[in-house]
Amino acid sequence: MAETKKSIEQLKEIAANTLDYYNQKADDFFANTIDHDVEQNISSLLQNINATPPFTILDVGCGPGRDLKTFTQRGHAAIGLEGAARFVEIAKSHSGCEVWLQDFLNPVLPDNYFDGVFANASLFHVPCQVLPGVLLKYHAVLKPGGVLFSSNPHGMNEEGWMNGRYGVYHDLARWRDYLQTAGFVELMHYYRPEGLPREQQPWLASVWRKA
């Protein structure tokens, strides 16, 4: 069944309520995720960038800055993009990186600026209605041949509220359609955590090159 078209007010409400959830839980979220192992995801982005390091990386939905710190510790120039103001404060303090506070449904970004975009557990918050436009912005922000990494909880294309946050749970086929329509070419995909049966792998990770 097709999703009912949302008004501008409804989209603003989705963004505001989801960000309010993260602002309220930001400190607990930081404590509970700081030690999460996402090395496979970080490596999948970095190893597919065909440029001379150090790379410029945009961490989309950077949260409290765990991965920003990892990128900078490896010698790269990382900038965070985040919609929750409390996360921005924590991320700046934790990582020492520049972090842009922006509307995640309508980011304002420079063209041809980054070698890589790292969107770990963030793009699934973007309603399908505005996702094509958002993906075009991340396509434009990449340098020619730049790479986008995404990891989202997958499903059967459900969309709606879950535990105080708005989310879209794409299957691989529909996620591919969105990314290819935005001008990306698939490099690889995998499910996480590694080494478990598919029903115990809630995360779909994929890597894409700007065509």
Confidence band, pLDDT 50/70/90 cuts, at residue 3: low
Using one digit for the tens of pLDDT, what is the confidence trace for 176-187?
A: 999 999 999 999
Using one digit for the tens of pLDDT, what is the confidence trace for 84-129?
A: 999 999 999 999 999 999 999 999 999 999 999 999 999 999 999 9
SS (H, E, C) 46-110: HCCCCCCCCCEEEEECCCCCHHHHHHHHCCCEEEEEECCHHHHHHHHHHHCCEEEECCCCCCCCC
Contacts of 175 (CB under 8 A, 6+ apart): 150, 152, 154, 204, 206
- Mean residue pLDDT of the chain comes to 97
Using one digit for the tens of pLDDT, what is the confidence trace for 40-56?
A: 999 999 999 999 999 99
Using one digit for the tens of pLDDT, what is the confidence trace for 10-49?
A: 999 999 999 999 999 999 999 999 999 999 999 999 999 9
What's the pLDDT score for residue 1?
43
Question: What whole-number distance in Å separates Cα of residue 175 and Cα of residue 49?
Answer: 21
What's the pLDDT score for residue 4?
84
Q: What is the CATH number of domain 8-210?
A: 3.40.50.150
Instruction: List the domain boundaries for the chain.
Output: 8-210
What is the dihedral sign for C-alpha 58, 150, 122, 46?
negative
What's the pLDDT score for residue 2?
52
Q: What percent of the chain has pLDDT over 70?
A: 99
